[in-house]
Structure 1
């Protein structure tokens, strides 16, 4: 779903431009696609418990708003993300929902959080993009109260998630400017290595680290499939630059490549992820 950046500036520009706007446009579809992960993530928050929760890489605020609703009137959830369009969408969503939620447009790696503020820190696919993950998680550790819970979901490897790379593999011969992923750098599959994730958390001061593999059934309406791969991921980043003939070729080729996942009116795949927890 996401592209590894070449530089931090490229990354921020994408999420404040093409990529961020695409996620806002696809917000309703992505909310439904990601709901099973959200449900697993929010099991860490007891209904009505109150307290302060931080949602890292909050995007358009779906998880933030659901967490705030779960916390109740005595609680508050703060979402942080680098994308201005996504934060704007998140603020509008929270206002409509009437929940205790607020948002920060900043990089969680460097943001000066008030120390020892949060009772829990959560993230749904938002922590794999830090340039210096040890520094980032150390910063989050400082923002957490003693005994606070950390709980996040991250993708396992690209090999275990073939659906996620179907579009770019199929489109690569037709789009020579297609961005490539750096397996050794920040990006969607940066946390594929379990031992690497454990090391990052240990080095940044977290304890009671637990990393469990989860395989989550995901569905997408078939009618949304073309919009999904033409707006999101590596193909979505560059397809708008293609001429009409190439664009038509790409859509035909990529749609055919997704055929094994299409079952009538649904697209079905398994999301292979890590469910990670730790304590401050």
Structure 2
């Protein structure tokens, strides 16, 4: 089991499931852009890569209205269990596959739209992954991805680790490594897609205004990112001090009962 599989079937996957509604609300602007940007009539077989708990998969399935089929793929069993439960609860036809999209044997030429909201930055070998996805795409199929730009473009996403740095030994983020900012460099992303056989590659910077309830902020900042992974390593007294310090660092983003921040992303498109 590689690091990403272990992470998303462990602490990170369970954190997403536990805070599903909060995260869906935060990232709804990205989902809306992905879903609304493509006319439903132009895509009948849709693949959502790194689908997580299924929000984007189900949103596109609702848009198709039974005129096609949406499939979500993810490595996280707990997140997929939540996605399947949501689909059943809402009566939405969708398929969910637990697999690594880098290696999974998709039916060749079976999808006319491949999309992802924050699901493609974690591949061990992204060229292999996107070559595999291209084989699964029909002639003329489109690729639509939303991924984070750089840490500098996303100060909200790095506030917790910066504030906690004096108290915890957190690993430094490695440029281009699998992880949240793995697709931050647009030249690298263009090269990955070009080498894996995609054409008409285009990356556009997009800024989204995201919100979450202030009452959920501490739960969010203690469950995700490097802080969420390493906070358990300190004793209860130290943990309380770290949380207090980190929460104070988020004060610039707090507006009454709401937390607001700008998410700096790339909207990437390509075609077979």
TM-score, normalised with respect to structure 1: 0.94
- TM-score, normalization: structure 2? 0.97
**Which consecutive residues of structure 1, in runs of 5 or more, have no partner in the other structure?**
1-7
Contact preservation (8 Å) 1:46, 1:71: no
1:189 matched to 2:181: yes
| 1:226-270 residue CA offsets vs partner (Å, 9 max, x unmatched) | 000011111111223321101100110000111111111111111
What is the total number of aligned residue pairs between the two structures? 272
User: For residues 115-264 of structure 1, what are the structure 2 equivalents within 5 Å?
Assistant: 115-176=108-169, 178-264=170-256
Q: How far apart, in 2, do the equivalents of 1:197 and 1:43 lie?
A: 23
Kindly indicate whether the alpha-carbon contact (under 8 Å) linking 1:44 and 1:151 is maintained by their aligned counterparts in 2: no
Question: For the residues of structure 1 that align with 2:47 and 2:260, how far apart are their CA atoms?
Answer: 31
Q: 1:50, 1:75 within 8 Å by CA — same for their partners in 2?
A: yes
Cα deviation, 1:161-205, whole Å, max 9, x if unaligned, reads: 1110100111122122x3432113111111111111111111111
Report the Cα offset of residue 276 of structure 1: 0.6
Cα distance in 2 for partners of 1:152, 1:265 equals 31
Contact 1:50-1:73 at 8 Å conserved across structures: no
1:88 to 77, 81, 84: 81
Q: Write the distance in 2 (CA, Å) between the matches of 1:238 and 1:279.
A: 40
SS at match of 2:27: helix
Q: Does 1:27 find its partner at 2:20?
A: yes
Alignment of 1:63-82 (within 5 A): 63-82=56-75
Give the alignment's Cα RMSD to 1 decimal. 1.2
Q: Distance in 1 between matches of 2:225 and 2:104?
A: 26
Q: CA deviation at 1:110?
A: 0.5
Query: Does structure 2 conserve the Cα–Cα contact (< 8 Å) formed by 1:167 and 1:257?
Result: yes
Once residues 229 and 270 of structure 2 are traced to their aligned partners in structure 1, the CA distance between those partners, rounded to angstroms, is 34
- Distance (Å, rounded) in 1 between the aligned partners of 2:260 and 2:129: 34
The structural deviation recorded for 1:48 is: 5.4
Contact 1:48 1:70 in 2 (8 A): no
Does residue 273 (structure 1) correspond to residue 265 (structure 2)? The answer is yes
Gaps of 5+ in 2: none
Q: Secondary structure at the match of 2:175?
A: coil
